[in-house]
């Protein structure tokens, strides 16, 4: 795999969609469609890409599949924007194994969850976990703070960004705008706080988030780029109007099978990424109609083709 340009942490800002992993009818990675998806995202003006995350079903991918997905993304991006690779596993050993498998591909950062199988880890364990990964690969790390029973406090996140070399950012999820606001207010200038609160991108951008990594960016990359630009330009009236449309769209997506709906939304835009891996339920007829209407409203004539 050829390397791409590696961006510095301070350059990883703005709209960073998590790529949906395309699967064929046998649930194998479809590299050709992945390349098409990458090109579509770049055409929409995104500022970076995140393969192997939650929306990319990274938790279902083998090490070889993750390497294929990340490597294909890096090749297709060809240094135009940063690539942040997702690592979703349950032990330090597994995280190091996956991170090492990606180390030669030229990713600019890793997005890594706390371990997530039922158990809560204390602060010192989390310091050791992220420190060991950083020692093993030396790639900048974004902490993906999303696991309900291992949800990391603002104080711990700030401590890790201060004390663990290479841990420079947090992807703040779980609809927790208060913690995101505290992180933005208290972090160091070199840190980066990314919003992952799909329904509330506008207020998180207005609060000063350095960007976003969330599923709605996958479903509607162009409007999310537009929202980012409006807030950066200080046009809050237009941003609020677009927020309302994006909120309606997210309401059409939200649900336990929201990845199925998101993949259907991409298919409507001419990117046939297939279905999620079993056993996730497919999008229902009503969900398809709801997202079709929401997309038609927000995209207008930018919708490319019907989907099955």
pLDDT tens profile 101-122: 999 999 999 999 999 887 889 9
In what helix (H) or strand (E) does residue 215 lie, and over which residues does it extend? helix 215-219
Judge whether 235 lies within some domain: no
Tokens standing for 101?
Answer: 């498998």
Counting Cα atoms < 13 Å in the Cβ hemisphere of 253 gives: 27
Rounded CA separation 170/201 (Å): 16
Where helices occur in the chain by DSSP H, the ranges are: 31-43, 63-77, 92-102, 123-137, 154-163, 177-186, 201-207, 215-219, 221-232, 236-253, 258-268, 285-299
Instruction: For 65-74, write each residue's pLDDT tens digit.
Output: 999 999 999 9
The secondary structure of residue 280, as a DSSP letter, is: S
Query: Catalytic amino acids?
Result: 144, 171
Q: Residue 57: name the closest of 280, 222, 283 by CA.
A: 280
- Inform me whether the pLDDT recorded for 231 exceeds 60: yes
pLDDT of residue 110: 98
Enter the tokens of residue 89.
């596993």
How many structural domains is the chain composed of? 1
How much is the pLDDT for 3?
56
Average the pLDDT over each of 51-55, 203-207, 225-229, 301-305 and give the range with the smallest value.
301-305
In angstroms, rounded to a whole number, what is the distance separating the alpha carbons of residues 18 and 51?
Answer: 6
With H, G, I as helix, E, B as strand and everything else as coil, classify residue 214. coil
pLDDT of res. 301: 62
Mean pLDDT of 166-172: 98
Q: Is 111 in a helix, a strand, or coil? A: strand
**Is residue 276 in a domain?**
no
Does any domain span residue 135?
Answer: yes
Query: Is 153 inside a domain boundary?
Result: yes
Which residues contact residue 216 at a Cβ distance below 8 angstroms, ignoring those fewer than 6 apart? 198, 199, 201, 224, 246, 249, 250, 253
Q: Please report the pLDDT score of residue 300 as a whole number.
A: 83
Phi/psi at 275 (5° precision): -105, 160
**Which two tokens mark 80?**
């135009």
CA distance 160 to 254: 32
Is 226 part of a structural domain of the chain? no
**If you ran DSSP here, which 8-state letter would residue 195 be given?**
E
Is the pLDDT at 305 greater than 80? The verdict is: no
Closest to 168 (Cα-Cα) out of 115, 211, 232: 211
Residue 2 has pLDDT above 90, yes or no: no
Range of the domain at 100: 9-217
Q: Which residue has the tokens 């420190």?
A: 131
CATH code of the domain in which 187 resides? 3.20.20.70
DSSP secondary structure, 27-52, as one string: S-B-HHHHHHHHHHHHHTT-S-BBTT
Has residue 43 been placed in a domain?
A: yes
211-212 sheet: strands from edge to edge: 14-15, 211-212, 192-195, 167-172, 141-145, 109-112, 84-87
pLDDT > 70 fraction of the chain, expressed in percent and rounded: 96
pLDDT at residue 308 in the model: 61
Residue 184 domain flag: yes
pTM of the predicted structure, to 2 decimals: 0.96
Residue at 306 is within a domain: no
Distance CA 138, CA 123 (A): 21
3-state secondary structure of 110: strand
**Contact assessment for residue 259 and residue 21, using Cβ atoms and an 8 Å cutoff:** no
For residue 64, give both structure tokens. 């070889």
């Amino acid at each position: 795999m050829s390397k791409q340009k590696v961006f510095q942490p301070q350059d990883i800002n703005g709209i960073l969609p998590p790529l949906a992993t395309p699967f064929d009818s046998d649930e194998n990675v479809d590299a050709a469609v992945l390349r098409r998806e990458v090109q579509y995202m770049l055409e929409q003006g995104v500022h970076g890409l995140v393969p192997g995350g939650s929306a990319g079903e990274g938790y279902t991918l083998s090490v070889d599949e993750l390497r294929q997905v990340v490597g294909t993304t890096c090749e297709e991006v060809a240094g135009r924007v940063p690539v942040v690779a997702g690592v979703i596993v349950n032990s330090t050993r597994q995280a190091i194994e996956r991170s090492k498998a990606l180390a030669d591909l030229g990713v600019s950062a890793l997005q890594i969850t706390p371990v997530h199988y039922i158990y809560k880890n204390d602060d010192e364990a989390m310091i050791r976990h992220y420190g060991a990964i950083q020692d093993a690969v030396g790639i900048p790390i974004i902490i993906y703070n999303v696991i309900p029973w291992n949800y990391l406090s603002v104080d711990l996140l700030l401590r890790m960004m201060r004390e663990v070399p290479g841990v420079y950012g947090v992807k703040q999820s779980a609809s927790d705008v208060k913690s995101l606001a505290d992180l933005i207010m208290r972090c160091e200038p070199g840190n980066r706080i990314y919003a992952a609160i799909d329904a509330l991108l506008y207020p998180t951008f207005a609060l000063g988030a350095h960007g976003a990594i969330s599923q709605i960016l996958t479903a509607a990359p162009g409007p999310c780029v537009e929202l980012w630009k409006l807030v950066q330009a200080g046009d809050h009236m237009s941003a609020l109007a677009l927020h309302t449309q994006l909120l309606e769209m997210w309401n059409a997506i939200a649900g336990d099978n929201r990845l199925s709906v998101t993949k259907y939304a991409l298919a409507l835009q001419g990117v046939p990424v297939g279905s999620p891996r079993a056993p996730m339920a497919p999008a229902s007829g009503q969900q398809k109609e709801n997202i079709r209407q929401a997309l038609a409203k927000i995209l207008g004539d930018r919708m490319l083709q019907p989907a099955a």
